[in-house]
Structure 1
Amino acid sequence: MTYTKNMLGALLVMSITTLGHAQNSKDVPQRIKRTKNTEVVNISSDRKALTAEDLWKLGRVSGERLTPDGKNLIYGVAQYSFETNAAERNLFVVPIKGGNPTPLTTEAGSETILEINSQGEIIYLYKGDLWKMQADGAQKTKLTDTEGKLSDVKLSPDKKHILYSKSVLVNAVHSPDKYQDLPKSDVYVYDDLAFRHWDSFNDGRFTHPFVASYADGKLGEGIDLLEGKPYYSPQAPFGGAEDFAWSPDSKAILYVAKKKAGKEYALSTNTDIYHYDLASGQVSNLTEGMNGYDTHPSFSPVGNRLAWLSMKTDGYEADKNDIILKDDGDKIRLNLTAHWDETVNAFTWSRDGKKIYFTAPVKGTVQLFEVQVPNKLTTKGLPKITQISEGEFDITGIVGEYDGGLVVTSTRLTRAAEVYRYDFKSRELSAITTVNDDAYAHIAETPVKGRFTKATDGQDLFSWVVYPPDFDPTKKYPTLLYCQGGPQSAVTQFYSLRWNLQLIASQGYIVIAPNRRGMPGWGVKWNEDISGDWGGQPIRDYLSAIDDLSTESYVDTARLGAVGASYGGYSVFMLAGVHEGRFKSFISHCGLFNMTSWYGTTEELFFANKDLGGPYWDSANEQTYTAFNPIKHIEKWDAPIMVIQGGKDFRVPIGQGLEAFQAAQLRGIKSRLVYLPEENHWVLSGHNAQVWQREFFRWLAETL
């Protein structure tokens, strides 16, 4: 459902985009100027249309960090191999003001940088151990040789201790652990909920933070900070090293945990940030009384202040995300963004500790913002929040600050991620990496345009519209309504390896992607309005958007389709029963079809309780399980539908897809089931993704 916080890292690999024409990455993306439905400019090209194979051959660029002098960038590039069906990631260094990159690593396996020391040496994690290399990648030296692999490592500032995570057996729920004389048995026994999550069953093992002394490449015995309790830290299933932090004096550790188990765990989002004193072993809760998600603790460069991200409401995973500030030793917790009508994605401190930079969705993009940190924490006169970037692009991450600007990662709907300089004075992006320039030089452009529609309640509804290469407004094109998942995740300038709107348009389709009710970037109320109203205004928004676009002469209204995944898949199932003849084809991936059986089988019940209102046996939720339940509209299904379902999807379990396909088959509707037994809510295997794309376009060719 909604993917927030630590899930975002994984989502950026599988689903993110941008806007505008597919320019060379050295070009500066233009600032957004929103006008009412201007004409699409046709840009002819003799370059070839993007294919699924091309998409997976692109380098996947990530910014690691800046060198201490702020002059060089270390970044990673993962390259997928069709032969091995895996991606290999290596590190490079390049001057941020321009120059040729230098490879730092070429060995098989991924490296993660932990720090760059005062001598310029790079300390990194490789195959579960610490390594060291020179600034140019030379003289690689293994520092540790541990029996178990180290994960989520954070070195203490004084370099005397290591904080890391390790899986610990807490509850014997799997039969080989419970009955050791039956090692070949495979039985799970549960007495409570939270017995499975995302794509795996709880085997009684929990990831815990450990701290150990470190000297001359030797680790001392690790201390379990959760003392064998049935809690996860980092958070499951997507948490990482961002859930850990060292105090600047190396005397204390911060870690994020939801200290709940069973039903309480499944019903709550209340994570807290805990302070562990290294000398005494005492633990205190820094976020006591704050009942939603509290994550990403980060000390200021000076070290006297702590900031973190916080949601207010327990059980509401898509609540407004705020930046909280606390002085060391002070009980006052100041919400820096309480007065601001949007939600924060991620933040970083300025080098002098006087500002915090952050990213947030705004009007169909993700942009940079800054907030001044007050000298004294007080709720009077909260600091001004300023948007400092504007353009038809997403800022997907902040790598670091240099003299005069920030180094960031950025995408567009027609451009995969690269690393850029963002200059504070010119307010422009300049490319540092150009990993995929050669590939895009041979890929045909797909024009992208913003469009406003009046929704049924009179509100302005914004959509991105992506057009085929060599778009000719005198011709007619089949057109697809893209339905976003979440439901409270934004449609911005993302770039995806699966739901790639550029790829879909490249096959000759117009794609419209509305910012319907429930998406961040248009105010907190707009984002919240979808909860409890899944089949109401958001579905009307989708119909308004496609009806408005259908007034254009170049849209072939006899060849309209609707596609989407997760809540987008639910939307497809709903639209199939209420579209009144608009659509000729549907594709639903891991969509919710029967809200009653879904409530009875999904794992994160806090989400179901918030967005559906609660269980099906509560009469107060009748509308959710009747009018807003796709299964109740099956008698009106009248168009071909393809159902895609992952076998290891426990968020939207397999029964949802099977029920929908079986219903369509028994009603005599042309339908197809694409079953991926080893995939979860996403499609992570490259070969499986190729099959996914081929079946996707084969279905559209047959039905549109």
Structure 2
Amino acid sequence: MTVRASKFTPEVLLSAPRRSSGKPNARGTLALFSVTTYSFESHSRKSEIRVLDIASSQSHLVTDDEKASDPNWIGDGNDVVWLKSGSDGKTTLVVANLSDTSKIHSYSAGVIDGPVSNIKLAKISDDAFAVAVVGQATPDGALYNPEKAPKQQSTGKVYTSLFVRHWDYYLSPQRNSIFYGRLTLEPSHVTNSSDKYTLSKLTNSLKGTGIESPIPPFGGTDHFDLSSSGIAFVAKDPDENPATNTKAHFYFIPIKTFTGLSTPEPIKVVVDGLEGACTSPVISPDGTKAVFLQMKKNGYESDKNRVILIPDLTNPFQTVELLASENGKGAWDSSPSSVSWSNDGNTLYLVAEATGRGILFSLPSNPADIKGLPKKLTTTGTVSDIAAASKSSNELFISSTSLVDNSYYSILDPAKPGELKLISSSSKGGKTFGLSQDQVSDIWFPGAGDYKVHAWVVKPSNFDSSKKYPLAYLIHGGPQGAWAESWSTRWNPAVFAEQGYVVITPNPTGSTSYGQDFVDAIQEEWGGRPYTDIVKGFEYIRDNLSYVDTDRAVALGASYGGYMMNWIQGNPLGRKFKALVTHDGVFSMANQISSDELYFPFHDLGGTLWDKRAQWERWDPSRLSGNWETPHLIIHNELDYRLPVSEGLAAFNVLQKRGVPSMYLTFPDENHWVLKPENSLQWHTVVLNWINKFAGLPPYKENNGGYEVNEPIKKMQDLKV
């Protein structure tokens, strides 16, 4: 966006360019990134791959092919590669040289016989590179191409074990797998013609193993790594049912030539005492070591990640837990989400949440050199990705977001923590949205116990401290999650603030980034301590923030936040709000037995439905539905298999039968989230019109923006024959 928006609206949010993390080249002069934009005028999406000149902060177009994705550098020069999907289900590996950005010519290095993504490369020699991509494999190990698959004449699906369905799809015989090959620079035999890269045939590294990686539904490049020494990856234990277990392992496949002539069996690394989920496997720059993250508890997806080092990949069974402690809890009370190596292999970089921010830390990779806790390198915003700024430097290229900036790139010298050099901001620090950091602050208030609860405060851009603004109280999902100082295109506090609200986003019991004990304390307490924290937050706002009008308060939440809206509706706090909004929330706790990942309710509610029935019923919102009387908007999507659509319908039925002003919005083609821009615009329009109506603010759009509202036929004469 180059023109400043007069007001930050849902249209501005949803049509703003969405920029990927930046990938610097070896010399540190250029950075690759992809960007997508959506136009509500043409109702179409535009995709580009661009290259940023780091010195000038100017970017140049590499390709605007909408089917291009996953740009990466090849080696130390200016050659790049990306994937191009085809209508026949095949994928082309495209190569180009960016030495002259005014004349970019690309060519095909090879065609892959199916859809793939998440490409990674590693140098084998001066003219050869290992390549790895992710695709779905058929039961016999072949790359699955849905365009070539035989058409079924019936639609029935038969299952004999869990999963039946996961997130937003029904399970099929196909499974994720990592395919590898070689990209070789071939000498040209044509006069005045340049040498070109050629892709070899790909080999399924997991064929016949029964192992699936990346782990669905969200695993990608964070679940595998590629080196000249082989492939490292994480995968769920194939001997455990994935619907009721999170148990996973680190695996290593030592590969020398990447020709596919022979693929060794994956070596499974079992870390004694750790039986939980794994992520972020990364091989050291010299290919001799590896590091990954693993949780301790099986069945608990929000346990603390431990940093596990493999000092010698030729003997991967020897592991070291960094930052371990005698009590087993770990010396560092943070849970890193990613880990990576410095260029020289002497330092590990960890990204972890800390007090509602996504912070970068450093830690010596040699256990003998660790003298204390990880060193904090950033202090604000949320780091989304890091990379070496160049091959010859210790500096880091950092991709980040904040509550007012949807993408900014910085350079950081780890020897100078906090001193980030801004390279590029997609929104000019929020200015193109009409936003500024001055709108953002935070508060701490007493919680249900001997602790304080943190919350972000986002004010309108035209805020006047002498005026009072209605409260928009936003409750996050998870429940083991947090409102962070980061950008969101689904729940963006600034969109609500620009309607005329003071937006406050508390992080009650169960929230991440305030220590593992605080996270764990929500187990068997879904409607207990978190609810009390939220009540106390409301009281603190009422008594201490003179510019907030709690007599015109509204509350909104999704997922666990949607559960909390339903719980609040049946409890005294529900009478403090003029209106509520539940997005994909729990209505009946017993119905969570129809969810996909059953380990989640089993853990959080203390056991199975049949063994812990009283505990499940204790925090059941439907149990208090006789108290429901606050106007309430219910949103639930039909492809949400985490929380089935019946949850939303049941809540709406109760409201309607009780005569409570209510509305129901559903999207047949969306899952737990609303991802399609046109659907998201309707979501925002309906939500903002609903809360504005009860908070005494003007409607966002008259007549719900023209979206169809289905009203019942109340009179027989309305029927037309």
TM-score range, shorter chain: 0.7 to 0.9
Cα distance in 1, alignment partners of residues 77 and 359 from structure 2: 35
CA separation of 1:65 and 1:221: change in aligned 2, threshold 3 A: closer
Q: Which runs of 5+ in 2 are unaligned?
A: 86-90, 141-145, 187-196, 256-261, 324-329, 696-721
Match of 1:7 in 2: none
- Which 10-residue stretch deviates more, 678-687 or 520-529? 520-529
Cα distance in 2, alignment partners of residues 271 and 85 from structure 1: 42
Cα distance in 2, alignment partners of residues 71 and 161 from structure 1: 24
Match of 1:604 in 2: 597
User: Which secondary structure state, in structure 2, belongs to the residue aligned with residue 575 of structure 1?
Assistant: helix
The within-5 A match list for 1:319-398 is: 319-328=303-312, 329-330=314-315, 331-337=317-323, 338-374=330-366, 377=367, 383-391=372-380, 393-398=381-386
CA separation of 1:230 and 1:302: change in aligned 2, threshold 3 A: closer
User: Is structure 2 residue 296 aligned with structure 1 residue 312?
Assistant: yes
Cα distance in 2, alignment partners of residues 140 and 163 from structure 1: 21
The within-5 A match list for 1:229-378 is: 231-249=211-229, 252-260=230-238, 264-278=241-255, 279=262, 281-287=264-270, 289=272, 290-328=274-312, 329-330=314-315, 331-337=317-323, 338-374=330-366, 377=367
Contact 2:406 2:426 in 1 (8 A): no
Q: Report Cα offsets for 1:65-108 as digits up to 9, x if no partner.
A: 11101232222222123256453332222333434222222223
CA separation of 1:546 and 1:248: change in aligned 2, threshold 3 A: same
CA separation of 1:700 and 1:288: change in aligned 2, threshold 3 A: same
- The one-letter code matched in structure 1 to 2:403 is L
Contact 1:63 1:399 in 2 (8 A): no
- The one-letter code matched in structure 2 to 1:650 is Y
Cα distance in 2, alignment partners of residues 101 and 280 from structure 1: 41
The within-5 A match list for 1:153-552 is: 153-158=119-124, 159=128, 161-170=130-139, 183-212=152-181, 215=184, 222-228=202-208, 231-249=211-229, 252-260=230-238, 264-278=241-255, 279=262, 281-287=264-270, 289=272, 290-328=274-312, 329-330=314-315, 331-337=317-323, 338-374=330-366, 377=367, 383-391=372-380, 393-402=381-390, 403=393, 405-424=395-414, 425=416, 427-437=418-428, 440-441=431-432, 443=434, 445=436, 447-551=439-543, 552=545
Contact 1:61 1:419 in 2 (8 A): no
Q: Report Cα offsets for 1:183-237 as digits up to 9, x if no partner.
A: 3211111111101100000122212223345555665554433335654222111
Q: Report Cα offsets for 1:145-171 as digits up to 9, x if no partner.
A: 233233333345323654333323339
CA separation of 1:202 and 1:228: change in aligned 2, threshold 3 A: farther
Q: Which residue among 96, 107, 112 is the counterpart of 2:54?
A: 96
Contact 2:47 2:65 in 1 (8 A): no
Cα distance in 1, alignment partners of residues 582 and 399 from structure 2: 31
Contact 1:410 1:417 in 2 (8 A): yes
Contact 2:476 2:561 in 1 (8 A): yes
Contact 1:86 1:686 in 2 (8 A): no
TM-score by length of 2: 0.84
Match of 1:59 in 2: 17
CA separation of 1:602 and 1:162: change in aligned 2, threshold 3 A: same
Cα distance in 2, alignment partners of residues 421 and 429 from structure 1: 6
Match of 1:120 in 2: 78
Cα offset for 1:49?
A: 2.7
Cα distance in 2, alignment partners of residues 662 and 487 from structure 1: 25
Q: Report Cα offsets for 1:400-426 as digits up to 9, x if no partner.
A: 335463221222212212212234437
- The one-letter code matched in structure 1 to 2:79 is E
TM-score by length of 1: 0.86
Cα distance in 2, alignment partners of residues 357 and 182 from structure 1: 48
User: Which secondary structure state, in structure 2, belongs to the residue aligned with residue 416 of structure 1?
Assistant: coil
Q: Which residue among 668, 687, 693 is the counterpart of 2:684?
A: 693
Match of 2:641 in 1: 650
Cα distance in 2, alignment partners of residues 99 and 404 from structure 1: 21
Match of 1:20 in 2: none
Structure number with greater CO (CA < 8 Å, separation at least 6) is 1
User: Which secondary structure state, in structure 2, belongs to the residue aligned with residue 626 of structure 1?
Assistant: helix
User: Which secondary structure state, in structure 2, belongs to the residue aligned with residue 191 of structure 1?
Assistant: coil
Cα offset for 1:602?
A: 0.2
Cα distance in 1, alignment partners of residues 266 and 150 from structure 2: 39
Cα offset for 1:341?
A: 0.7
- Which 10-residue stretch deviates more, 213-222 or 676-685? 213-222
Cα offset for 1:680?
A: 0.2
Cα distance in 1, alignment partners of residues 568 and 619 from structure 2: 11
Cα offset for 1:312?
A: 1.3
User: Which secondary structure state, in structure 1, belongs to the residue aligned with residue 663 of structure 2?
Assistant: strand
Query: Between Structure 1 and Structure 2, how many residues are aligned?
Result: 644
Cα distance in 2, alignment partners of residues 595 and 406 from structure 1: 46
- The one-letter code matched in structure 2 to 1:427 is G
- Which 10-residue stretch deviates more, 588-597 or 556-565? 556-565
Q: Which residue among 566, 587, 599 is the counterpart of 1:573?
A: 566
Cα distance in 1, alignment partners of residues 361 and 32 from structure 2: 24
Cα distance in 1, alignment partners of residues 352 and 429 from structure 2: 31
User: Which secondary structure state, in structure 1, belongs to the residue aligned with residue 666 of structure 2?
Assistant: strand
Q: Report Cα offsets for 1:260-296 as digits up to 9, x if no partner.
A: 37x7121111122222344462332023554111222
Percentage of pairs with the same residue? 28
Cα distance in 1, alignment partners of residues 130 and 151 from structure 2: 40
- The one-letter code matched in structure 2 to 1:332 is Q
Match of 2:710 in 1: none
User: Is structure 2 residue 7 aligned with structure 1 residue 49?
Assistant: yes
Cα distance in 1, alignment partners of residues 485 and 302 from structure 2: 20
CA separation of 1:381 and 1:161: change in aligned 2, threshold 3 A: closer
Match of 2:191 in 1: none
Cα RMSD after superposing both structures? 2.7
Cα distance in 1, alignment partners of residues 283 and 581 from structure 2: 46
- The one-letter code matched in structure 2 to 1:448 is V
Q: Which runs of 4+ in 1 moved over 6 A?
A: none
